Structure 1
Amino acid sequence: MKKVNFIEEAITSEKEIREIVGAPHEFIIKKAISIMDEHCRQFISKSPLCFLSTSDAEGNCDVSPRGDGPGAIKVLNPHQLVIPDRLGNRRVDSMLNIVSNPHIGLIFLIPGIEEVLRINGRAYITQNKEILNEMIWENQVPSLGIGVDIEECFFHCPRALKTSNIWHPEKWDKNVDIPSMKEIFYDHLKINGVEIKE
């Protein structure tokens, strides 16, 4: 299929979107709260996986999965939490975005639960030793953390996770056949002109 010019027929206003989609019920608007109440804090304490969405000052976006044991993300109080930064590939895309644009979005998941918790706020890179020393994992203290000032929290409906059957292994496609991640990695390096010596 040839490249599509999305700009030609793009919807460019809220009015156009609302004419097609309609308006949300009042309850949907008012379910968003500005603090992490007991329900939010409990959900975060049980969540081993969250997705961190950031963008830089020019609007270039990134979403990064953050997996750890349940409770690894530390809720400091109803208004703040800290995500430990575990040593990885050193790309630090999320942190580089945060230093130029603090606005972030988070989605927390719990295996087997089809609702997710969404949190929006402002993030800052922290070296606070008192906090980071409480986030030890495999005998290592994270050298950095992402501190978040909470602006909005709400639980999202289960439709996406329900229809994807993500928590139902018996419904997964047993015939998925994709190359190994090593093969994909090398092929992507070649696209960027990196010569791979076998």
Structure 2
Amino acid sequence: MEIYNFSKEAITSVEELREIVGVPHELIIKKSISFIDDHCKRFISMSPLLFLSTSNSEGKCIVSPRGDSQNLVKILNKQQLVIPDRSGNRRLDSMINILSNQYVGLIFIIPGLEGVLRINGRGTIIKDKEILNDMSLKGKSPFLGIGVDVEECFVHCPRALKESKIWSSETWQNPENLPSIMDMFHSHLKINGVELDE
């Protein structure tokens, strides 16, 4: 397999990028606010799913989905929110990243709504029981949470979700044709030399 050299036709400056794409309209720049207003609060309260983006001190990035039937996020005030850390695979990729680089990006999604809410800020891993006990799910409180000091909030245009028709069930694949997560999991283990008994 030939590896393509992306640097051959790479954009290397903001000036070159702007020359091709142009500049955003003033309204697009000014839609960003620095706190959680009532509109953002309502959006967050209706969102059962968010995507958390982090990177480590070397700039290596990950995006992690976080979802709950309830208590997905607790808003403490106009500048702070908390994401509970539910029991999972214990990889802790996002939290380990936050220990070396506090900057986080969040995307909140509401089923059926094509626009999304983006929030940027700084994350801190917390173990404050007073906060976390108030975020219990099925009778179990999280041991840890990610406290976010909010620096920027804005709605993102609906183009991606609209054009992908993600909420339109007639575009969904037949379940029998979907990738098997377990098959992928076992295959990737095998690539790394781990064989599981059938």
Structure-1-length-normalised TM-score:
0.96
- Native 8 Å contact 1:46 1:70 kept in 2: no
Cα distance change, pair 163–194 in 1 and its aligned pair in 2 (3 A): same
SS of structure 1 residue aligned to 2:40: helix
Provide the residue aligned with 1:180 in structure 2. Answer: 180
Mean Cα deviation higher: 129-138 or 64-73:
64-73
Equivalent residues of 2:122, 2:148 under 8 A apart: yes
Q: CA RMSD in A?
A: 1.3
Alpha-carbon offset, residue 128 of structure 1 = 0.8
In structure 1, the partner of 2:75 is 75
Percent of pairs with identical residues? 63
State the partner residue of 2:121. Answer: 121
SS at match of 1:95: helix
* Equivalent position amino acid for 1:75 in 2: I
State whether residues 70 and 137 of structure 2, in contact with CA within 8 Å, keep that contact through their aligned partners in structure 1: no
Q: Is the 8 A contact 2:49 2:72 kept in 1?
A: no
- Specify the alignment match of 1:167 in structure 2: 167
Q: Distance in 2 between matches of 1:9 and 1:121?
A: 33
* SS of aligned partner of 1:134: helix
User: Can you give the 5+ residue segments of structure 1 that lack an aligned partner in the other structure?
Assistant: none
Counterpart mapping for 1:1-198 below 5 A: 2-174=2-174, 177-198=177-198
Determine the C-alpha separation between the residues in 2 that align with 1:160 and 1:71.
Answer: 27
Deviation at 1:175, TM superposition (A): 7.4
Please state how far the C-alpha of 1:194 moved relative to its aligned partner: 1.5
SS in structure 2 of the partner of residue 111 of structure 1: coil
Once the two structures are TM-superposed, the CA of residue 69 in structure 1 deviates from its matched residue by: 2.1
Contact 2:71 2:137 in 1 (8 A): no
Rounded to whole Å, the distance in 2 between the matches of 1:176 and 1:51 is 27
Greater helix proportion: 2
